[in-house]
Amino acid sequence: MVTRWVLDLRRTSDPDAQRVVLFDDTVVVGRDPRVANLCVASAELSRRHASLQLATDGSVRVRDLGTAGGLVLDGQKVDGVPLTPGDALELGDWRLALVAPPEPASAPPIIARLVPHPASTSHAIDAIEVAVERERATWTLRYTLHGDLDALALPDPPLDPLRLWEHTCFELFARQLGTPRYDEWNFSPTGQRTRFAFLGYRERQDVDPGPRATLSFERRRAFVATVASPLRLAPSTFVSPCVVTRDRAGGTAFWALEHAGDRPDFHAPSSFRQLALLGDPGASPDE
């Protein structure tokens, strides 16, 4: 069981709100995605501006984490007070409102279907489904491939860790709300993994193995790749699960939630979806 919070985040000059669904007991709001799991792109906010915490009595309490002018709720400075539905925090030129009180909610797997890019040259795989679920601090991603599994080419180790994506590879892109920064994880059937950090579109900043991960691969009637890792995700995170499949004849297919342009581009913002809405085919991506 997890706790679901429903919040609305919008600019004060924009009547359209972004719906944010959070599952964590404590949410840190700030402008730095490295220390805040709800990032708001406003220079008026501190790196760690405020926290929203689920109290033992079931209420949501807001705390000031070191703001310059104090934390403002409906025109009043506050710290340690409970929120009620309709309360709105003033975050520079943004407002964050509690829409519904926290309520117990189960966390069934979120399932999304990927589509191949039209320029793909391999047709060995007919369909790919991705299931995302959380058990405490561990996120599990399960990629299920259907098709001609005998034609699927699986690489032999070791591979260049910077080029796992040149072979059959399972990927996840993730970007926090309100920032152009994003991460790319590559998981190979060889058991290798790599994380790339980007400051903006294809502007690579860092490379490392990323958090520890348990990788497992099994083939029965479908090929299933499972990744279990304490990835730093929140349901408000915008994600894009992707897969590269290569066949024994040398063909390659590129699978994503959505494709934009004549060439495959997993970094394209249009392919990202908010994690909480991942399984909704009508959900609009964050541009």
- Are 254 and 244 a contacting pair, CB within 8 Å? yes
CB 278, CB 242: distance < 8 Å: no
Average pLDDT, the chain: 84
pLDDT at 38: 80
Q: What is the pLDDT of residue 216?
A: 92
DSSP for 96-157, please give it.
Answer: EEEEEEEEEE--PPEEEEEEE-TT----SEEEEEEEEEEETTEEEEEEEEEE-GGGB--PPS
Give pLDDT, residue 267. 95
Q: What is the pLDDT of residues 11-29, one digit of tens each?
A: 777 766 676 666 567 888 8
Q: Which H helix or E strand runs over 4? A: strand 2-11
In the chain the domains, ranked by start, together with CATH numbers, are: 5-99 (2.60.200.20), 110-277 (2.60.40.1190)
Distances (CA, A) of 141 to 49, 118, 138, 218, 269: 31, 25, 10, 14, 21
User: How crowded is residue 272: how many other Cβ atoms within 10 Å of its Cβ?
Assistant: 24
Average pLDDT value for residue range 34-48: 82
Render pLDDT for 98-143 as a digit per residue (tens, 0 to 9): 876 554 444 567 889 999 999 999 999 999 999 988 776 678 899 9
Per-residue pLDDT reduced to its tens digit, 43-96: 888 888 988 887 665 678 889 998 888 888 878 888 888 887 788 888 888 888
Residue 197 makes CB contacts below 8 A (sequence gap 6+) with: 181, 183, 204, 205, 206, 207, 208
Q: Is the pTM of this model over 0.75?
A: no
Distance separating alpha carbons of residues 173 and 271, to the nearest angstrom: 10
